[in-house]
């Protein structure tokens, strides 16, 4: 059983090396211009001088989405073992999941009512 994870590990090593190999290949091949104007490494902002840094505070709506995501993500984690065992558990699994989904949808309805899901 541990063997299959060694396979995955080696596969991941290869997958992770691809991007670095491409960067290395470019480093060997690329031509660096002699002419280096000062604006060459400037930040792009439609040809204007950038107005301040970009590392600023964000709109809080992104945090609301992140919070709701965590809630529903945990819920999908609970769904996985249920999905695997439905055949074995039969009607009990269905009744239990309907109750679970109902409670979850109450929370969803509350978030909808409070306009947490609205993107303004």
Among 48, 57, 60, 91, binds other proteins (CB under 8 A): 91
Residues numbered 19 to 48 that lie near other proteins (CB under 8 A) are 19-20, 22-23, 25-27, 29-33, 40-46
Among 35, 47, 48, 119, binds other proteins (CB under 8 A): 119
83 binds other proteins (CB under 8 A): yes
Question: What's the rounded Cα separation, in Å, for the pair 93 and 97?
Answer: 6
CA atoms within 13 A on the CB side of 13: 6
Which tokens sit at 98? Answer: 């309907």
86 binds other proteins (CB under 8 A): yes
Question: What's the rounded Cα separation, in Å, for the pair 55 and 37?
Answer: 25
């Amino acid at each position: 059983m541990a063997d299959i994870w060694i396979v995955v590990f080696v596969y991941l090593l290869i997958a992770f090396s691809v991007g670095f190999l491409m960067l290395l290949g470019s480093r060997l091949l690329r031509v660096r211009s002699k002419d280096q104007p000062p604006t060459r490494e400037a930040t792009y902002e439609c040809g204007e001088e950038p107005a301040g840094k970009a590392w600023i505070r964000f709109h809080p709506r992104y945090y609301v989405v992140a919070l709701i995501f965590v809630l529903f993500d945990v819920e999908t984690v609970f769904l996985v073992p249920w999905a695997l065992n439905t055949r074995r558990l039969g009607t009990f699994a269905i009744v239990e999941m309907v109750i679970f989904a109902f409670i979850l949808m109450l929370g969803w309805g509350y978030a909808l009512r409070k306009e947490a899901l609205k993107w303004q």
